[in-house]
Amino acid sequence: MKAVRYSKYGAPEVLKLTEVKKPAPKANEILVKIHATSVTFGDVRLRASDFPPLFWLPARLIFGLFKPKKQILGHEWAGVIEQTGKEVTQFNIGNEVFGTTSMLKTGAYAEYLCVPETWSQGAVIHRSKNLSFEESAVLPIAGMTALFLLEKAKIEKGQHILVNGASGSVGSYTVQIAKHLGAVVTGVCSTGNIEMVRSLGATNVIDYKKEDFTQSKKHFDIIFDAVGKISKSKTKLILSTNGHFVSTKMLTKESPELLEKVKKLAEQKAIIPYIDRQFKLADIVTAHNYVDTGRKRGNVSIKVINEE
């Protein structure tokens, strides 16, 4: 089968489209024919080994000190089950599914992928029929992150929430979910993304190139840093008393139950995956180069095979 591998850390050019052996599922695994995957922040960070100085060595010890342990990236995916292990009970051959590869030994930049029916760090569930494979594949990581952190912040109807990085993958889902739950959303983004963020449901939009939102005279019940670039101390002037600050720097959790909640929101059209650009698997280097520019809006989808 075709797969994109990398044997050393570095620029997008370390990613190579190669032929590898098609995997066979273990007793507790399903073999999925991948239709689509994505380029997440996690994929880019692992490829480049771009970790904060404080976490650089611990991260290298986990993911590979001198070269990557997980040589096929791709944190999220959607596809069709081609084979099931003898112990699998929740899925059948032909089921359309989507999920993550968190903490597995391999990723979704490949034509086929084996994932456990259940495992503690990730999730796989049945795919929603009202989303394409490409839309489904960009939903799990950012969708679960947004919902998990909003629930952690105890979001309620009528609250005022500020989303920093509202035009990104996590930010775009956060704006939509918060709006659906009845919050008044203020999005922070660059000039060129203002209309996009408004279209997602933000009542107010701040252009960070023209205004320092941390100096605003408004107060917010929740401040959601969707790009992990600010600290709670930086928001003390605008965070309401007993308000909640959450950030993508915080530990989050993946689970089938949480992904089912995200799927339900998508089925209700409370969230619609925003796909900025779509690339073929053979163009994965171009896709990573684009994400590296920092100009990505929403999600970048990777088409592995054509839908039938």
Return the domain boundaries, the chain.
2-139+273-303, 142-247
Strands 239-247 and 112-116: unpaired
Q: What pLDDT score does 306 carry?
A: 62
Q: Which class is 142-247 in CATH? A: alpha beta
What pLDDT was estimated at residue 59?
A: 72
* CATH code at 2-139+273-303: 3.90.180.10
Token digits for 237? Answer: 């002037």
pLDDT tens by residue, the chain, 308 residues = 999 999 999 999 999 999 999 999 999 999 999 999 999 999 999 999 887 777 777 777 777 788 999 999 999 999 999 999 999 999 999 999 999 999 999 999 999 999 999 999 999 999 988 999 999 999 999 999 999 999 999 999 999 999 999 999 999 999 999 999 999 999 999 999 999 999 999 999 999 999 999 998 899 999 999 999 999 999 999 999 999 999 999 999 999 999 999 999 999 999 999 999 999 999 999 999 999 999 999 999 999 986 44
The pLDDT, as a whole number, for residue 308 is: 44
pLDDT for res 280: 97
User: What's residue 35's pLDDT?
Assistant: 98
